[in-house]
């Protein structure tokens, strides 16, 4: 991974490591559908004008079936599953379950034609990174009774996160990342216009905390507009399977945010797991002949 790819990798790792905390804060004032709608509306309002100025929207529209597929599989489905599940399970357990993305992504990339993904060092990196995930979250995440439906919901979201980058890599690589991401967010905005709008109408009678509004802004600008633009470019440079390994440093960032801003304790699992996550992500994201 060259320097530019590493910079993109770190950018996405940070901006997709903070949504767990922001979603938790936003849920204090908004329902899941409203949160999803706000994310995509803000993201689309930022990205579509940029794409229009660059003259790249028409090119992206030529791939409209895949833009719609990406929108539904990467955003519309997983985001409502994740946001709803966080009402019923801990953010730590949600993070751990999203950490299964590369295990779906590797075989999908192999079937899509990338035969190099099963190099022993990549597999070792996945195993090491997932071991770090387990160490960070800790087995206590499973010590409380959890409705299996929410575990299934998170695994389904992880599957969507694994499939969508393959669509980008194989079908949308020639289109502008800004245009594709912006148009995809517009599609999701249409999907959630009614349920999300109803949720926002309820806020009029019961105002949301200011922190929840700031959380929505962060989700839309940083975790959606900026992160997706960087993620598309990362996929173009390292491939879909290696790009999905960002879920490991994402989790490390999520834990750091919890420690610094939510006063969560530094655990032994974090001290052991963080180096495993870093080394595992580096190994799993490397290209081999």
Which pLDDT score, from 0 to 100, does residue 194 have? 95
Mean pLDDT across the stretch 190-202? 92
Which pLDDT score, from 0 to 100, does residue 155 have? 86
Beta strands, E only, the chain: none
Which pLDDT score, from 0 to 100, does residue 273 have? 77
Which pLDDT score, from 0 to 100, does residue 55 have? 93
Convert the pLDDT of each residue in 25-55 to its tens digit: 999 999 999 999 999 999 999 999 999 999 9
> What is the CB neighbour count within 10 angstroms for residue 237?
16
- Distance (Å, whole) CA 105 – CA 121: 16
Mean pLDDT across the stretch 241-262? 77
Banded pLDDT at 1 (limits 50, 70, 90): low
Banded pLDDT at 138 (limits 50, 70, 90): low
Which pLDDT score, from 0 to 100, does residue 244 have? 74
- Cβ atoms of 230 and 46 within 8 Å: the answer is no
- Distance (Å, whole) CA 229 – CA 15: 11
- Cβ atoms of 195 and 33 within 8 Å: the answer is yes
Four-CA torsion 169, 10, 44, 240, nearest 10 degrees:
10
Q: Judge whether residue 146 has pLDDT over 60.
A: yes
Banded pLDDT at 102 (limits 50, 70, 90): confident
Which pLDDT score, from 0 to 100, does residue 186 have? 97
Q: Judge whether residue 88 has pLDDT over 80.
A: yes
Give the pTM: 0.83
Which pLDDT score, from 0 to 100, does residue 145 have? 60
Q: Judge whether residue 81 has pLDDT over 70.
A: yes
Which pLDDT score, from 0 to 100, does residue 264 have? 67
Which pLDDT score, from 0 to 100, does residue 107 have? 77
Which pLDDT score, from 0 to 100, does residue 247 have? 77
CA angle 244, 247, 251 (to 5 degrees): 175
Convert the pLDDT of each residue in 149-195 to its tens digit: 888 898 899 899 989 888 888 888 788 889 999 999 999 999 999 99
More confident residue, 222 or 235: 222
Banded pLDDT at 143 (limits 50, 70, 90): low
Which pLDDT score, from 0 to 100, does residue 62 have? 93
């Amino acid at each position: 991974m060259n320097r530019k790819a590493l910079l993109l990798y770190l950018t996405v790792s940070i901006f997709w490591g903070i949504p767990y905390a922001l979603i938790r804060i936003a849920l204090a004032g908004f329902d899941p559908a409203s949160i999803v709608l706000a994310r995509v509306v803000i993201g689309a309002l930022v990205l579509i004008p940029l794409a229009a100025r660059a003259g790249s929207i028409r090119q992206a529209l030529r791939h409209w079936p895949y833009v719609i597929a990406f929108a539904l599989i990467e955003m519309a489905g997983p985001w409502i599953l994740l946001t709803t599940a966080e009402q019923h399970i801990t953010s730590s357990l949600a993070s751990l379950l999203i950490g299964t993305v590369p295990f779906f992504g590797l075989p999908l990339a192999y079937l899509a034609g990338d035969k190099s993904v099963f190099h022993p060092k990549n597999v070792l990196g996945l195993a090491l990174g997932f071991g770090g995930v387990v160490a960070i979250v800790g087995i206590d995440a499973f010590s409380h009774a959890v409705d299996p439906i929410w575990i299934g919901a998170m695994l389904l979201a992880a599957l969507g996160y694994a499939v969508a980058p393959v669509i980008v890599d194989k079908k949308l690589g020639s289109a502008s990342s800004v245009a594709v991401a912006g148009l995809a967010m517009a599609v999701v905005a249409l999907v959630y216009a009614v349920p999300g709008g109803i949720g926002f109408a309820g806020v009029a009678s019961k105002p949301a905390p200011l922190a929840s509004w700031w959380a929505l802004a962060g989700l839309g600008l940083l975790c959606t507009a900026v992160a997706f633009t960087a993620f598309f470019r990362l996929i173009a440079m390292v491939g879909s399977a290696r790009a999905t390994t960002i879920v490991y440093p994402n989790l490390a960032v999520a834990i750091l945010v919890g420690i610094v801003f939510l006063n969560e304790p530094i655990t032994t699992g974090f001290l052991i797991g963080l180096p495993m996550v870093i080394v595992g992500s580096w190994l799993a994201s490397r290209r081999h002949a």
